[in-house]
Structure 1
Amino acid sequence: MSTAEQPEQSQRPGEQSAPQPHAEPLGPVDSSRVPRYAGPATFARLPRLDQVGGKADVAVVGVPFDTGVSYRPGARFGGNAIREASRLLRPYNPAQDASPFALAQVADAGDVAANPFDIGEAVETVQEAADGILDSGARMMTLGGDHTIALPLLRSVARKHGPVALLHFDAHLDTWDTYFGAAYTHGTPFRRAFEEGLLDTSAVSHVGTRGPLYGKKDLDDDAKMGFGIVTSADVMRRGVDEVTDQLRQRIGDRPLYISVDIDVLDPAHAPGTGTPEAGGLTSRELLEIIRGLAACRLVSADLVEVAPAYDHAEITSVAASHTAYELTTLMARQIAEARDAG
């Protein structure tokens, strides 16, 4: 795969990397022995991909790219901000009753070096890197970056699994046609994915949408692509459990891709993003909906649009790190269950 600038694994002075390959998953640095603030950060203080012989069940990969944004830039720094915030994560997830890093080998695959001056080339680079990760047998937990990267990631996932179900958590539809004549931006990835046949249109949904649109045609076009919409107001009125049950029924047993734009959260919970909208989900609602998808077949996921320059007290990065942790836990549980069943 094409990666660059892989974060280093933090170790005690004089400690050597474990021999490769590993009979059991190599987990995170023990924070009871090495302070959380010590050493360079990987996601959840996990090993680098090279430290596990280049093979992982789940690869956490960063894409520091934000050339496709239409308002505030800065999401190119989101992946590493999430990694820094993830120092506080612990290896046992009580909400899912799972130790994800013991169930499956999760490793930090570093960053994809995408061209910041050429969106077309960047899209190709991201797809090539994603193809390499998926061809290795891993699932992806991608840290963006702006939402433009969802298109090449979906191309790669559909190449492996065929058209996939999609859950898109976002304040916005991201099914617009062009911005300033550009077809590849953070507001267009899911229209392009629809046009390219990457989506199972019987099982695609937006969750958390809200705010003004350019016109009613935005909703009409979106419906023609097959998207169902669960607004943030729907979550508030109907509750997490009912909404999650509806989503599970729509997804069924199809391979599922989840794309999370952190602006799905209200700005009170995620101020550090490029296009904030009032009236969003709470971080608790987002985490509970994701946890409720344990029965779904999650093949990969992304989390995008964290812009740390606007993130006071790391509120957004903390919420994003926990969201990525829940998604990673879902994948690790499913990998372990499939291994035990086989």
Structure 2
Amino acid sequence: MEELRVEANGHLGPIDSSRIPRYAGAATFARLPRLDQVKQADIAVVGVPFDSGVSYRPGARFGANHVREASRLLRPYNPAWDLSPFEEVQVADAGDMAVNPFNINEAIETIQQNALDLTASGTKLVTIGGDHTIALPLLRAAAERAGGPVAMLHFDAHLDTWDTYFGAEYTHGTPFRRAVEEGILDTESICHVGTRGPLYGKKDLDDDHRFGFGIVTSADVYYQGVREVVAKLRDRIGNTPLYVSIDIDVLDPAHAPGTGTPEAGGITSRELLEIIRGFRGMNLIGADVVEVAPAYDHAEITGVAGSHVAYELVSLMADNAAGGGSRNGYAAQALEAPRPSQPQDIESDQESFE
């Protein structure tokens, strides 16, 4: 079947849904062209079907294609940004990385090399997992491309800074401890967002504080509101090259049931989207959306959330490439947040982070 695509500004865009039904044809992200169909991509969406690092429910290896299927409903104009991201830059689907499901160390090396290959000519990545183990090699590649440690905002119900599981150093609960140890994170510019739930002990928080992480809990988002949280995150990160890692379980199970380790009391999908929109103008160099497990996803709720989160990250990258800041989309409202009276660390309802 002939692919009737939207084209603008020399960029090959999604299949024209006014001429070919959304449910027809191959499911690339947002029905965009494959990477091999364009000369060069400014932004590539790539899948990593890997979940051998999970500690509870498996299934995130199927997450990338699940998000792609849900993304059929995405439309090319984003009113939040007053932007048509696929017209401003060339965005393409790079398919899936082929990684060894039986050897975590080899898989990590493969992901890192593939990320370096994909970004060799300046392409930025939005990666869809897969479990959170994949964030470590992606951060390694991002830091190498940035020429040094990068800032990170980590959206998750969990800290993911534990040491080992069953003696294994590389799992979905350990990537950011390893990243700190390897010196690829700017420890003045890292923060968890949306954490909640029980921990193994107070030492978990003490270790996390020692690594340099700030914490914005899901309760902080509720009590302080999106605008205040965005203001504090922007103060903490500044213009440092930023990597954003989003575990879909940052959302409450009501908004994302299809994940491996759900925790009650999470933020809403609306809050997550509005926080991302509040990053307008920040120096986003890469991002991932992980832990979507379709086997537990009722009515595709989690897939829809994941597809919209990835779309907002692509929009932020496209807005930056287009100059940003001059449009009147309602994303600009998040930038009207009340600023803290003086520079300060992220505050939290956790006593150890006062």
TM-score (structure 2 length as normaliser):
0.89
Measure the CA separation in 1 of the matches of 2:140 and 2:3.
41
**Distance 1:14-1:72 versus aligned 2 partners, 3 A rule:** closer
State how many pairs are aligned. Answer: 324
TM-score by length of 1: 0.93
Name the structure 1 match of 2:273.
287
- Give the alignment partner of residue 83 of structure 1, picking from 56, 68, 81: 68
The one of 46, 57, 70 equivalent to 2:55 is: 70
Gap regions ≥5 residues in structure 1:
1-12
Q: Is the 8 A contact 2:269 2:305 kept in 1?
A: yes
| Alignment correspondent of 2:109 | 124
The 3 A distance-change label for structure 1 pair 17 and 211 is closer
- 1:299 CA drift (Å): 0.4
Of 112, 123, 129 in structure 2, the residue corresponding to residue 138 of structure 1 is: 123
What is the percent sequence identity of the aligned residues?
72
Structure 2 residue matching 1:178: 3-state secondary structure: coil
Provide, for residues 227-253 of structure 1, a one-character-per-residue CA deviation record: whole Å limited to 9, x for no partner. Answer: 000000000000000001100110101
Alpha-carbon displacement from aligned partner over 1:59-99 (angstroms, at most 9, x marks no partner): 10000000000000000000000000000000000011110
Matched, 1:329 2:315: yes
Instruction: Report the equivalent of 1:107.
Output: 92
For structure 2, the 5+ residue unaligned runs are: 325-354
Match of 1:197 in 2: 183
Determine the C-alpha separation between the residues in 2 that align with 1:176 and 1:323: 26
CA RMSD of superposed structures (Å)? 1.6
Alignment partner, residue 214 of structure 2: 228
Q: 1:179 maps to which residue?
A: 165
Is contact 1:92-1:98 (8 Å) kept?
A: yes
Show the counterpart of 2:337. Answer: none
Cα distance change of structure 1 residues 14 and 319 upon mapping to structure 2, 3 Å threshold: closer
Contact 1:208 1:232 in 2 (8 A): yes
Q: Render the CA deviation track for 1:96-126: whole Å, top value 9, x for unaligned.
A: 1110000100000000001000000000000
Distance, in Å, in 2 between the alignment partners of 1:125 and 1:15 is 32
SS in 2 for 1:61: strand
Query: Counterpart amino acid of 1:99?
Result: S
Alignment partners' CA distance in 1, 2:10 and 2:256: 36
Structure 1 Cα separation of the partners of residues 153 and 204 of structure 2: 19
- Corresponding residue for residue 257 of structure 2: 271
2 CA distance for matches of 1:18 and 1:99?
12
Question: Are residues 1:208 and 2:218 paired?
Answer: no
1:91–1:17 CA distance, 2 compared to 1 (3 A) = closer
Q: CA, structure 1 residues 197+47, in 2 after alignment: closer, same or farther (shift >3 Å)?
A: same
Instruction: Report the counterpart of residue 342 of structure 2 in structure 1.
Output: none
Counterparts in 2 of 1:120 and 1:105: CA distance versus 1, 3 Å: same
Question: Which deviations, in whole Å up to 9, do the C-alpha atoms of 1:210-236 show, x marking residues without a partner?
Answer: 000000000000000100000000000
1:243 matched to 2:229:
yes
1:170, 1:263 within 8 Å by CA — same for their partners in 2? yes
Looking at structure 1, the residues matched to 247 and 322 of structure 2 have their Cα atoms a distance apart, in angstroms, of 28
Structure 2 counterpart of 1:60, which letter? V
Deviations, residues 135-194 of structure 1 (Å, cap 9, x unaligned): 121000000000000000000000011111100000000000000000000000000000
Q: Give the conservation status (yes or no) of the 8 Å contact 1:100–1:333.
A: yes
- Secondary structure of 1:135's match? coil
Q: 1:97 aligns with which of 82, 89, 106?
A: 82
